[in-house]
Structure 1
Amino acid sequence: MAILVIVFLLLLDIISKQWALRYLAVEGDITVIKGFFNLAYLENRGAAFGILQNKQIFLIIITSIIILGMLYYVFILKPKSKLLNWSLYLIIAGAVGNLIDRSFLGFVVDFLEFHYKSYYFPTFNLADTFVVIGTGLLIIYVLKGE
């Protein structure tokens, strides 16, 4: 089941980014909820919040090591906790999705843009969402002390 979940999430990410590349990058932004949510193409050449700009090789190496460690944990050590497993599935899928972009495009495709008045939250993608939700679940797992 782990492979199916990870592949499904990864495909959602890849398909959404391909759409953003083919449509948003050419046609421009789409306002979904005026004054709150747009679909807006962005090429992120850094990590979260744009840190480590143009450090693609470093980010590829670190991300690859982390992914391999999580895959080892999921498939070799086989944790019993469903919460831990789901958190790792989400993080792996998101990390692989962004790793694919970095490796083949030289940047990560972001396109989800939330804003309120003059405050703009950093633009992100589905892979980022998976990593954030997975990390949140991982924090819950650790705090529960299973």
Structure 2
Amino acid sequence: MPILLLAAGIVLLDQSSKIYVLSRMLPGDSIPIISGIFHITLVLNPGAAFGLFEHQRIFFIAVAALMLGAVAYYVPRIPTGMMLLRWGTGLMAGGAAGNVIDRIRTGYVVDFFDFRIWPVFNIADIAIVTGVACIIFTLLKSGQEKDDSLDK
């Protein structure tokens, strides 16, 4: 259940931040927070990271649905002691759900964090990247532990 609460919290935070930005800005508007370094810039992204696969709404919704289905299947099978894997899964699922809500509702994802050296992103993107990093770290660590036990 905590994984579901984490995912729901990410969706709530993500969607409320997007609603707030949309209510105060127009697409292309940019507010400097730290001039030249960090801005809040409203971008309506019809693609994936870096603008890849623009206007492939059905594809992105299908991928998110498959991923969320896989999460629903595997979460009960994750051992309770593997907390980082559980947290990573919750973060990834919450982020994917937050972005797919945008795609279903409007056909694009609302992005607004702009560091000027990286594509504009949102809270859901942060959750996805952090979640995937936690999952990869856990899998690599557990693979290393298995390798170490074979050496003994």
Q: Secondary structure at the match of 1:53?
A: coil
List runs of 5+ in structure 2 lacking aligned partners: 144-152
1:68 aligns with 2:69: yes
Tell whether the 8 Å contact from 2:32 to 2:39 is kept in structure 1 after alignment: yes
1:125 aligns with 2:125: no
What whole-Å deviation, never above 9, does each CA across 1:93-145 have from its counterpart, x for those lacking one? 00000000000011000000002xxxx31000000000001111111101101
Percent identical across equivalent pairs? 36
1:140 aligns with 2:137: yes
Tell whether the 8 Å contact from 2:28 to 2:42 is kept in structure 1 after alignment: no
List runs of 5+ in structure 1 lacking aligned partners: none
State how many pairs are aligned.
141
Q: CA deviation at 1:7?
A: 1.1
Distance 1:95 1:26 in 2: 22
Tell whether the 8 Å contact from 1:24 to 1:39 is kept in structure 2 after alignment: no
Per mean C-alpha deviation after superposition, the further-off stretch among 42-51 and 1-10 is 1-10
Tell whether the 8 Å contact from 1:73 to 1:79 is kept in structure 2 after alignment: no
Output the TM-score relative to the length of structure 2: 0.87
Segments ≥4 residues shifted beyond 4 Å: none
Output the TM-score relative to the length of structure 1: 0.91
Task: Identify the residue that residue 77 of structure 1 maps to in structure 2.
Answer: 77
